[in-house]
């Protein structure tokens, strides 16, 4: 189940990255590259931090074809994408939660400290989007918009501490998604944000 959700998530992330590339008038190579960075950047950063090799996309190179195919398909259907805004926001929220769970699993497999498990989930969930926004010369969404990293942290904590019990892993995945996904969607709807630090005085 988690594997299927993961493929759905990276496809959605690739498509949203393609739209970001289109807004920056990138060529098709740029579209594909940005899609790969967005969909796979978090997992790549996580594996690098944890010394976990081979990197996911190196061990499973066909995932690159999936990501690039999704990006190029987005170019074809771009004219109707504005009608699917909330559908893609929902898929992005699902991707955040699924990536977080996957990242936690990788850290748990090497018996990492609980804090590192949760950080691993968060890195997997948010770093791809940060890299996308940096490459597009934008302030990363995670630093300026509705609850995002916080949702990842909450999801990771629920998943890790749930895994320390005897609960079935598939049921635990459902529980983590059932909490993290609605939390992100409600944050979008209600525009819940972390407190902002505003300092406008000259030194």
Predicted pLDDT at 203 = 65
List Cα–Cα distances, 189 to 86, 93, 147, 178, in angstroms. 10, 12, 11, 17
Exposure b/e, 22-40, CB count within 10 A at least 16 = b = beeebeeebbbbbbbbbbb
Instruction: From first to last of the 203 residues of the chain, give the pLDDT tens digit.
Output: 788 989 999 999 999 999 999 999 999 999 999 999 999 999 999 999 999 999 999 999 999 999 999 999 999 998 887 788 888 888 889 999 999 999 999 999 999 999 999 999 999 999 999 999 999 998 888 887 778 999 999 999 999 999 999 899 999 999 999 999 999 999 988 888 888 888 887 76
Predicted pLDDT at 63 = 96
Q: Where are the alpha helices (DSSP H) in the chain?
A: 2-23, 28-50, 56-59, 62-76, 85-109, 114-135, 149-163, 169-190
pTM: 0.91
Predicted pLDDT at 182 = 96
For the chain, what are the domain ranges?
Answer: 2-190
Predicted pLDDT at 199 = 83
Predicted pLDDT at 146 = 75
């Amino acid at each position: 189940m988690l594997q299927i959700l993961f493929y759905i998530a990276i496809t959605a992330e690739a498509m949203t990255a393609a739209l970001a590339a289109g807004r920056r008038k990138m060529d098709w190579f740029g579209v594909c590259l940005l899609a790969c960075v967005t969909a796979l950047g978090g997992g790549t950063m996580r594996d690098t931090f944890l010394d976990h090799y081979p990197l996911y996309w190196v061990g499973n190179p066909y995932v690159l074809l999936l990501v690039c195919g999704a990006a190029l398909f987005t170019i074809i259907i771009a004219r109707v994408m504005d009608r699917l805004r909330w559908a893609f926001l929902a898929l992005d929220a699902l991707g955040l939660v699924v990536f977080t769970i996957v990242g936690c699993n990788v850290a748990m497999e090497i018996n990492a400290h609980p804090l590192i498990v949760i950080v691993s989930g968060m890195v997997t969930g948010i770093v791809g989007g940060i890299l996308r926004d940096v490459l597009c010369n934008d302030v990363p969404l995670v630093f300026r918009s509705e609850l995002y990293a916080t949702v990842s942290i909450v999801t990771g904590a629920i998943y890790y501490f749930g895994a320390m019990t005897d609960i079935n892993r598939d049921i635990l995945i459902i529980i983590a998604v059932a909490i993290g996904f609605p939390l992100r969607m409600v944050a979008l709807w209600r525009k819940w944000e972390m407190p902002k630090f505003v300092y406008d005085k000259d030194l």
